[in-house]
Structure 1
Amino acid sequence: MYTPLHVSVVIIEDDETVRNGYAYLINRTAAFTVVNTYPSFDASRNHIVNDNPDVVIIDIQLPGTSGIEALPVLKKMLPFTHFIVLTIYETEKLIIEALSNGASGYLTKNMASSRIINAIKEVMLGGGSMSPNVAKTLIRSLQKNQNSPLTKRETQILELISIGKNRSQVARELFIEIDTVKTHVKNIYLKLHVNSKADAIKVAKLNRLI
């Protein structure tokens, strides 16, 4: 794969160990340089324009302004920069929001570290880059039944339940209270005329609701 002569990168990641690990990986790659790293978007706000990076790697869950909220602001500040989301979250809502807000790539942290380097190369060449699970989620979203009786939030919750997440994990991932999850689950059961998680998943998959 062709690589531009030099690529400058900024990393916005709140976990210092992870942030330093990414920086080490990128800096030891020929023609790549990490020009700065930040623990949050708020910490980068007054400096990142001067950094003038070709690529920004940004997490979603950051202290203060979230990565999703930061993306459109960063796009205005750095109109010629490419943005890659690198996160543990792969829900449909977050993927679509990130891409709509200006991300050129969406990767999950459980992938091989070499994938980060390839993703930088891909976005520099004008392409997009996604982890396999992210691509599958996006494809499923496009294939869904548009006449679903479920709301977007109910669909998100059922999707997470269908991949084995419990209610506490669903609440954390969607940044909502566990009681809110329980209420949505009740509504899902009522709308799908089922009485169990297994039946809800079965009916939803049969009717292409998830």
Structure 2
Amino acid sequence: MVIAMDKNLRIVCIEDDDILRMGYESILSGVENFIFVNAYASYDLAKKFLEIDNPDVILLDIQMPGTSGLQALPHIKKALPNTSVIILTVFDSSELVFEALTVGASGYLTKDSSSSKIIDAIKEVNSGGGAMSTNVARIVMHSFQKNLNSPLTKRETEILDRIANGQTKPQIANELFIDQETVRSHVKNIYTKLNVNSKYEAIKRAKERRFI
């Protein structure tokens, strides 16, 4: 969808990966009506300058040194209520997606998004719309199709969903920023609630009842 623009858009990027940060600047600086104002390696470095930068759109990573993107979002929205924030990250768990949208993100893209997708997303959120990667949109849609009477908590559902997709406990712990013992504790609770004794039984029963 082509969105007509009647003004220049001021863009700021907060991303700790030097190569990605320079890449976004290179791509976006060449787009008509885009002004790439500034790029920062963390929110902690950016926060004192954001009001001066006065961006229309901020591209924000989640995992950064110091204050994370999710922790930064409420502060950004309080200081710059008219600025749209697009999460741009490698993480696409349902819990992170919904937390980001809840605390003020206007869009959520994964870092494998194409240049054209990022450009379109910036235009989309600036016009009042929402922008999501295909896989993120699928997560959001899937959540509405789940059985609302599930006995599982959001975290248990997230973990079982990841197990069903072939992830190991160490992988789950790493991506959800929790330790492996916590994952094991959640799995034990899942088995108890579903009255099963293995991950295969848990996945089968959860899918049959639309818990995942």
Q: TM-score, normalised by structure 1?
A: 0.96
Q: What value does the CA root-mean-square deviation take over the aligned residues?
A: 1.2
How far residue 153 of structure 1 moved from its aligned partner, in angstroms, is 1.2
How far residue 129 of structure 1 moved from its aligned partner, in angstroms, is 0.4
How far residue 50 of structure 1 moved from its aligned partner, in angstroms, is 0.1
1:33 is matched with which residue?
Answer: 35
Of the structure 1 ranges 50-59 and 141-150, higher mean CA displacement relative to structure 2 is found in 141-150
How far residue 143 of structure 1 moved from its aligned partner, in angstroms, is 2.1
2:103 is matched with which residue?
Answer: 101
2:187 is matched with which residue?
Answer: 185
Count of equivalent residues: 210
Instruction: Give matches, 1:36-75, under 5 Å.
Output: 36-75=38-77
Q: Percent identity?
A: 53
How far residue 183 of structure 1 moved from its aligned partner, in angstroms, is 1.6
How far residue 178 of structure 1 moved from its aligned partner, in angstroms, is 0.8
Output the amino acid matched with 2:128. Answer: G
Q: Secondary structure at the match of 2:159?
A: helix
- The answer (yes or no) to whether the contact 1:90–1:134 under 8 Å persists in 2 is yes
1:138 is matched with which residue?
Answer: 140
Segments of structure 2 that go 5 or more residues without pairing to the other structure are: none
How far residue 45 of structure 1 moved from its aligned partner, in angstroms, is 0.9
CA offsets 1:115-152 (integer angstroms, 9 cap, x no match): 10010010111100001111111112222212211122
- The answer (yes or no) to whether the contact 1:71–1:101 under 8 Å persists in 2 is yes
1:120 is matched with which residue?
Answer: 122
CA offsets 1:30-56 (integer angstroms, 9 cap, x no match): 111210011111111111100001100
Q: Secondary structure at the match of 1:57?
A: strand
Indicate yes or no: 2:200 matched with 1:198. Answer: yes
Output the amino acid matched with 1:115. Answer: K
How far residue 193 of structure 1 moved from its aligned partner, in angstroms, is 2.2
Structure 2 CA distance for partners of 1:61 and 1:4, relative to 1, 3 Å: farther
